[in-house]
Amino acid sequence: MPLQSNVDVPPATGKLGVLLPGMGAVGTTFIAGCLAIRKGLAKPIGSLTQMGTIRIGPRTDDNVPLIRDYVPLATLDDLVFGGWDVFEDDAYVAASRAGVLEGHLLEQLGDELRAIKPMTAVFEQAYVKNLHGNHIKPETSKWEQAQALDDDINRFAEENGCDRLVAVWCGSTEVYREPTAVHETLAAFEQGLKDSDPDIAPSQIYAYACLKRGIPYANGAPNLNLDTPALLELARQNGVPVTGKDFKTGQTLMKTILAPGFKARMLGVEGWYSTNILGNRDGEVLDDPESFKAKEVSKLGVLDTIFEPERNPDLYGDIAHVVRINYYPPRGDNKEGWDNIDIFGWLGYKMQIKVDFLCRDSILAAPLVLDLALFLDLAKRAGMSGVQEWLSFYWKSPQPVQPGIYPEHDIFIQLTKLKNTLRHLKGDEVITHVGAEYYD
């Protein structure tokens, strides 16, 4: 269905519960960050919903409001946080363990963070081999696990007086799996839950439980989840917006910033070698080849859709694209992403670019969790459902709105699409950058 224009979006009144399956480094950096910003201890750097502006009308109008003043978004004061984890650590302990934020900041948020305790997880060892927690639901039937999650959600919403809920998967990357017959239709998936089909992953049970209750859902990890016909059928049936997958941070963020520039100038690329060292729990999980495979597939897809080698064979027809991730404990969450890019210019003359990004993974990911929660909540109030392609901006592996359409990876096109979607929703002119100046 085409996107409605000039939609009368109901205001974001009351409390918005943000549910996080997985309260590790990203999850707790997001929660602690929101609490710190709420107290005026820090600024929401990296968040488009909090700091971004949007031009409305021609440049001569000089009308450039903040996005959060332009569309009705929940405010940080309205947010309530909850989630699940396979470890029982409360958000203070988990954030301290993750080692992303400094102790003196966490101390100032101590009481609020300690009050956020994860609910018991739905977990299956086969899907995350390098993780050994014991804060796990006793139910063994996948159907009963889904019901138990539903009870959790109900209780959380009641205890916290939530008017609306959204969920963002911040759990570990599960092993790489192709969809099977159980993912084909909602009926097959529900039967699969009843049969505890081994092809249904824990992350899919969370998504099912949320979508069943009409809760918008985002998938921050690269594993198979909302990109299955069964879960999309459920999202459409219940009018729920969904988006994924794999937060675009660090090295892939740099790739989708640089690659469109090379392509714009018709510079050729012969090879792109990317390596990463990281030492957080995510790195430990990705040390398992099957979890790494899910990440590798997600990271490798980026360049092809930007460079379109089939349309530009002389420039990009033969790229050697290699991605490596190595678990290296001394680095903790402070990853190093190193890229060697072999490019060529006029007459085929070769050049090299080296990028060494000493980044902080969770610092880059936390504002994305915030934006996704607020935009998904907006989408739900605006009556939007199914895959939200305008949120591709946030993903390493954006989900296309229908199979067969290639996803857009160019971050600048993604941002234009996001802002034009907001303009369209409000009934303002979309900005095409075509002006009348040629005829003066």
Q: Which residues of 316-341 are buried (b: 16+ CB within 10 A; e: fewer)?
A: beebebebebebeeebbbbbbbbbeb
Distance separating alpha carbons of residues 236 and 387, to the nearest angstrom: 9
In angstroms, what is the minimal distance from the CB of 373 to ligand NAD?
14
Stretch that binds ligand NAD, among 140-148, 227-235, 277-285, 311-319 (CB under 6 A): 277-285
Among 30, 70, 81, 87, which residue interacts with ligand NAD (rule: CB under 6 A)?
Answer: 87
* Ramachandran region, residue 100 (left: φ > 0; alpha: ψ -120 to 50; beta: rest): alpha
Q: Which is nearer to ligand NAD, 306 or 365 (CB)?
A: 365
173 contributes a contact to ligand NAD by CB under 6 A: yes
Stretch that binds ligand NAD, among 73-81, 324-332, 356-364, 408-416 (CB under 6 A): 356-364
- CB contact at 8 A, 225 and 207: yes
Distance separating alpha carbons of residues 389 and 427, to the nearest angstrom: 19
HSE-up of 122 (CA within 13 Å, CB side)?
29
Among 16, 18, 19, 21, which residue interacts with ligand NAD (rule: CB under 6 A)?
Answer: 21
Q: Which is nearer to ligand NAD, 233 or 333 (CB)?
A: 333
In angstroms, what is the minimal distance from the CB of 416 to ligand NAD?
23
361 contributes a contact to ligand NAD by CB under 6 A: yes
390 contributes a contact to ligand NAD by CB under 6 A: no
Among 281, 299, 409, 419, which residue interacts with ligand NAD (rule: CB under 6 A)?
Answer: 281
Among 81, 84, 217, 316, which residue interacts with ligand NAD (rule: CB under 6 A)?
Answer: 84
Distance separating alpha carbons of residues 54 and 271, to the nearest angstrom: 36
Q: Which is nearer to ligand NAD, 12 or 121 (CB)?
A: 121
In angstroms, what is the minimal distance from the CB of 239 to ligand NAD?
26
User: For ligand NAD, how many residues bind (rule: CB under 6 A)?
Assistant: 37
Describe the strand order of the beta sheet including 350-360 as a list of residue ranges.
Answer: 320-327, 268-278, 334-344, 350-360
Q: Which is nearer to ligand NAD, 122 or 254 (CB)?
A: 122
Q: Which is nearer to ligand NAD, 71 or 207 (CB)?
A: 207
246 contributes a contact to ligand NAD by CB under 6 A: yes
98 contributes a contact to ligand NAD by CB under 6 A: yes
Question: CA torsion 228→230→232→237, rounded to 10°?
Answer: 180
Q: Look at strands 162-169 and 15-21 and give their pairing.
A: parallel
- CB contact at 8 A, 339 and 272: yes
Q: Which is nearer to ligand NAD, 100 or 343 (CB)?
A: 100
Q: Which is nearer to ligand NAD, 302 or 384 (CB)?
A: 302
At residue 30, what are phi and psi to the nearest 5 degrees? -65, -50
337 contributes a contact to ligand NAD by CB under 6 A: no
Stretch that binds ligand NAD, among 18-26, 49-57, 226-234, 426-434 (CB under 6 A): 18-26
145 contributes a contact to ligand NAD by CB under 6 A: no
- Binding residues for ligand NAD restricted to 105-124, rule: CB under 6 A: 121-123
At residue 356, what are phi and psi to the nearest 5 degrees? -120, 100
Whose tokens are 């995510």? That residue is 282
Nearest residue by C-beta to ligand NAD? 24
Among 26, 73, 109, 303, which residue interacts with ligand NAD (rule: CB under 6 A)?
Answer: 26
33 contributes a contact to ligand NAD by CB under 6 A: no
Enumerate residues 6+ apart whose C-beta is below 8 A from 205: 122, 142, 145, 146, 149, 193
Q: Which is nearer to ligand NAD, 139 or 342 (CB)?
A: 139
Stretch that binds ligand NAD, among 56-64, 158-166, 192-200, 281-289 (CB under 6 A): 281-289
The residues that touch ligand NAD, with contacts defined as CB under 6 A, are: 21-27, 84-87, 98, 121-123, 128, 131, 133, 170-173, 202, 220-221, 246-247, 249-250, 280-282, 285, 361-362, 364-365
